[in-house]
Amino acid sequence: MIVGTAGHIDHGKTALVRALTGVATDRLKEERERGISIELGYAYAPLADGTVLGIVDVPGHERFVRTMVAGAVGIDHALLVVAADDGVMPQTREHLAILDLLGVHHGSVALNKADRVPPARRDEVRAEITALLAGTPLAGAPVFETVATADADPGVAALRAHLEAVAHERSQRAADGAFRLAVDRVFTLAGQGTAVTGTVFAGRVQVGDTLQHSASGQAVRVRSIHAQNRAADEGRAGQRCALVLAGIDRDTIQRGDWIAAPATLQRCERLDARIRLLPDAPALAHWAPVHVHVGTGHHLAHLVPLDAQPPAAGASARVQLVFETPVWALPGDRLILRNAQASRTIGGGRVVDLWAPERRRRSAERLAWLDALEAAQAEATPEAAARLLALAPAGLARSRLVLLLGHDTAPADAVAIALPGGDTLLVAPPVWRRWRERIAAVLADFHQRSPDDPGLNAARLRRIVQPGTADAGTDALWPALLDAMLADGSLARQGSWLHLPGHAVNLSAAEQILAERLLPRLADGGADPPWVRDLAAATAAPEDQVRTVLRKLARRGELQQVVKDLFYPEATVTKLLALLDELSVAAPRGEVGAAEFRDACGLGRKRAIQVLEHFDRVGYTRRVRDRRVLRERPAGPAPASGAGP
């Protein structure tokens, strides 16, 4: 169990920790000279069962609330210290509010310096403490009268016995999930290397594991571990750990960073959160500047209300926080808000969604998503996850779902699509059905308007069905939809054209005979096939008839019309694209010039440019100044017309 002190300056927190553990936590010369804590202090008390009680001693001065928050993050039990002579003071109240906002719901109270006042004053301060704790999770917490500076003080002994009993009764924190440690101290250990200390938020780590530093992205190897102040082979959630790291300099790390499994290091500059303002908090307008403490880090941000009404004092509200510098966090992480001057705590809450949009942040769709997400985070059931997934139009990667919810509760009936790296895209069955219906409706409309066309190629069909979408979800979803519809017969392919079953472009008997004479000549032409006039002369057929047959073949997906009266077989186009792909692999930034393409395929400059411009029109390539970048090749052919789609 990790205990964290709290309370006003000069109420004896550090002295009480020394009385409980024998450890003087004031390490700095300035702290000893001034008699106040400036930095976090750490002490450990071995218990009878072999476990270790860890105590984090925090500064009590109002100037060091930032440091206090870094120490209070991740503690299990609060030790609120109130001096009998002073009674409840401003930092007593602020520290208690911070503990509540951080979700610390277990604690004890030390009525310290009890020897300095008469019994009547002690009773008066007890009444103040009872009133202070009323309505908070610490209401009813036991109060121990202590004299931290006295030898063998019975109050200190009773408090220690109580903390030991609580530690024995407390169940060990679950260590599932990926490892995360919030750094609150970094130093160099002579002869060993860079060391960091902090509270383990989740998971477990072993000597030899490779983790990642959040800010730099550097991989680090764990050389040794101290868990709860003892050498160990493993550290786990709920412990204070010191990790000696290989592969990183001490100056690279600072308080507020994370040492964690790479999958948990999610960088963001905007996040949506559920916050609660304190009863005496000021009104917060749109774009109000705030100081945000998350993990052990401190950040500056602007607040954007998401609900219809701005956040009100004493009430809960949803907001988006837009940070000035990147933040690493996960949904569920607690945060503390302080005012623009960093002079008072105004509220706190928890992270809901890291992947917050910059635009349409208050749209009906976005607010519905946040409603479902908060419900799923609270319920932790497959049914709640299914309701959330139904609001993801492009599906949701399983890894993203686990990060959003903190657990893997994917619904069993979700459509699963394999993603690179071993991940899976999950799509809700209603969403899957809507996409299939949309594809069928678009094709039906196209067939009605263009009965002589064979259908649409996959790239153009996608632009109509999924306008403006291009992300990992839709990139995986689109081919999976087409494959499924082709497999069950609700979609058909003629050459490379996609169409509804039963729709086709047919040739007459005479046209079929002519086509059988034209196609070999086009194939024999390779990268430089004959023009319509040359084909007409070779087959003794009228040019108009040749042109009509070639256009029908293009509509069927067997040819592509590069320019007027110049048609390339689909197999030839495939070879040219493969050649372009080879060139792009060797080219800087994958950009291929017309001259390189011309030389590789043996065409003249004019013809090479005509082919490249055709590739631009149909979406095979993207022009960057006078060069081309090969896109991921669409599954279907180009449009039949040389003018493009």
| 385-406 pLDDT, tens digit each | 999 999 999 999 999 999 999 8
Q: Give the span between the Cα atoms of 195 and 197, in whole angstroms.
A: 7
Q: Give the span between the Cα atoms of 371 and 354, in whole angstroms.
A: 15
List Cα–Cα distances, 178 to 27, 212, 263, 512, 626, in angstroms.
33, 12, 8, 64, 47
Give the mean pLDDT of 445-457: 86
**Residue 640: what pLDDT?**
42
Does pLDDT of 263 surpass 60?
A: yes
CA proximity to 405, closest of 429, 386, 433: 386
**Residue 467: what pLDDT?**
80
Amino acid found at 368: A
CA proximity to 61, closest of 4, 119, 10, 1: 10
Kind and range of the H or E run holding 305: strand 297-305
Give the mean pLDDT of 49-60: 84
Give residue-wise pLDDT tens across range 107-132: 999 999 999 999 999 999 999 999 99
**Which DSSP category does 117 fall into?**
S
Q: Give the span between the Cα atoms of 548 and 165, in whole angstroms.
A: 91
In the chain, the percentage of residues whose pLDDT exceeds 90 is: 71
Q: Give the span between the Cα atoms of 351 and 31, in whole angstroms.
A: 35
**Residue 175: what pLDDT?**
78
Does pLDDT of 593 surpass 70?
A: yes
Per-residue confidence band for 36, with pLDDT thresholds at 50, 70 and 90: low
- CB-CB neighbours of 544 under 10 Å: 10
Per-residue confidence band for 446, with pLDDT thresholds at 50, 70 and 90: very high
**Residue 25: what pLDDT?**
78
Q: Give backbone dihedrals phi and psi of 119, rounded to 5 degrees, phi first.
A: -55, -35
DSSP strand pairing (107-112 vs 77-83): parallel
289: helix, coil or strand? strand
Length of the chain (residues): 645
Q: Give the span between the Cα atoms of 419 and 495, in whole angstroms.
A: 27
Edge-first strand listing for the sheet containing 627-630: 591-593, 627-630, 621-624
Could you write out the DSSP letters of every residue in 121-177?
HHHHHHHHHHHHHTTSTTTT--EEE--TTSTT-HHHHHHHHHHHHHHHHSPPPP--S
**Which DSSP category does 407 fall into?**
S
- CB-CB neighbours of 556 under 10 Å: 23
Does pLDDT of 27 surpass 70?
A: no
**Residue 572: what pLDDT?**
94
Model pTM?
0.78
- 473 versus 271: the higher-pLDDT residue is 271
Amino acid found at 284: L
Q: Give backbone dihedrals phi and psi of 181, rounded to 5 degrees, phi first.
A: -125, 125
Q: Give the span between the Cα atoms of 545 and 548, in whole angstroms.
A: 5
Give residue-wise pLDDT tens across range 216-233: 999 999 999 999 888 999
| 3 state SS for 178-232 | CCEEEEEEEEEECCCEEEEEEEEEECEEECCCEEEECCCCCEEEEEEEEECCEEE
